[in-house]
Amino acid sequence: MLPDTLPEAVAAKIATARGFIFDMDGTIALGNAASGGHEALPGAIDLLAALRRRSIPFRVFTNGTAKAPATYAKGLRAAGFDIADDEMMTPSTSAAIWLERQGLTRVRVLGDPGVAEPLLARGLEVIGPSQKADVDAVYTCWFRGFTFPDLEAACASVWDGARLTTASHVPFFATANGRGIGSSFAINQMIASLTGKRAKVLGKPSRAAFDVTLAAMGLPRSAAGDIMVVGDDPALEMAMARTAGATGIGMTTGLMRPETISGLPDRFQPHAVIGRLQAITRALADHATV
């Protein structure tokens, strides 16, 4: 049976939460292979609506960089969610803000078209994968069109002092057909093997991604302890919650399996595990009048 009750301490945390960060796939929605779109998981639309009514800020943060954030947001609206474009985040959203803050304004982007949208929107100069140019940073993403000239150009930039950054450094991800290879992981490993430089992760589970999301919600860094991170991947959302000092709520509607949780390292441990988002909505409602 799926768990659907929250420990009292976590329910109390929800009641006073200052913001929520949700994963998309396996947490609030599931990909529909037939339509190519998304379907809301039970209770997800209601939960976001309940947060909206209470003026509690939230962001949906997917680690995918195959599409622009606005495209994902549009897909979620089509599935029935009340979500604005700027409430949807990808690693490119956090990368754009982080790179700008670091003064790294010329960026070689190794990714598919669309991935650079958040960078362009912030006024960063985006250089193509193998375009000849001096850059301040190299940013690697989901990129199935990766070629040897792209590798040469990226390595040359890193040898010239460009900062190596990435959307994600996870070797595998779950697909409807089983295990998929993380494209940016493979690219990062190639560049690292040649340059000796490790890629700085700007998507989940990095502190950079968390901090940028917090700021996007208009919250100070000191609010980290009052943020709920809801997701189905221990190595992404739960790791991000643990690193940041937030509360991680694990969902068994995706990757997380109740029987494997006790074997996870401490840094991946959820603070609570539920099978239904209604448990969170209930915790919000239960405490609304306190």
Got the DSSP string for 100-135? HHTT--EEEEES-TTTTHHHHHTTPEEE-TT-----
Which residue reads 């003026």 in tokens?
55
Cβ proximity to Mg ion: between 28 and 124 the closer is 28
Residues in the chain: 290
SS3 content of the chain, % helix, strand, coil (to 5): 40, 20, 40
Cβ proximity to Mg ion: between 254 and 275 the closer is 254
Cβ proximity to Mg ion: between 62 and 157 the closer is 62
- In angstroms, the CA 238 to CA 210 distance is 12
How deeply is 103 buried, as exposed, middle or buried, from its count of CB atoms within 10 A (0-12, 13-18, 19+)? Answer: exposed
Tokens read off for 90:
């990808």
The window from 18-26, 71-79, 118-126, 144-152 that contacts Mg ion (CB under 5 A) reads 18-26
Contacts for 235 with CB less than 8 Å, ≥ 6 apart: 170, 205, 268
Nearest C-alpha neighbor of 98 from the set 117, 118, 84, 113:
118
The window from 25-33, 45-53, 126-134, 213-221 that contacts Mg ion (CB under 5 A) reads 25-33
Residue nearest to Mg ion (CB): 26
Number of residues located near Mg ion, criterion CB under 5 A: 6
Cβ proximity to Mg ion: between 181 and 288 the closer is 181
Q: Does 26 bind Mg ion (CB under 5 A)?
A: yes
Nearest C-alpha neighbor of 13 from the set 230, 195, 186, 176:
230
The window from 19-27, 93-101, 150-158, 195-203 that contacts Mg ion (CB under 5 A) reads 19-27
Cβ proximity to Mg ion: between 131 and 175 the closer is 175
Residue 274 beta carbon to Mg ion: minimum distance, rounded to whole angstroms: 15
Q: Does 25 bind Mg ion (CB under 5 A)?
A: yes
SS3 assignment, position 61:
strand
Q: Does 205 bind Mg ion (CB under 5 A)?
A: no
- The interface with Mg ion within residues 228-287 (CB under 5 A) comprises 232-233, 254
Q: Does 182 bind Mg ion (CB under 5 A)?
A: no
Tell me which of 14, 23, 142, 274 binds Mg ion, using CB under 5 A: 23
Tokens read off for 160:
């010239």
Residue 255 beta carbon to Mg ion: minimum distance, rounded to whole angstroms: 6
Residue 265 beta carbon to Mg ion: minimum distance, rounded to whole angstroms: 19
Question: Residue 244 corresponds to which amino acid?
Answer: A
Q: Does 203 bind Mg ion (CB under 5 A)?
A: no
Residue 63 beta carbon to Mg ion: minimum distance, rounded to whole angstroms: 8
| Positions in the binding site for Mg ion (CB under 5 A) | 23, 25-26, 232-233, 254
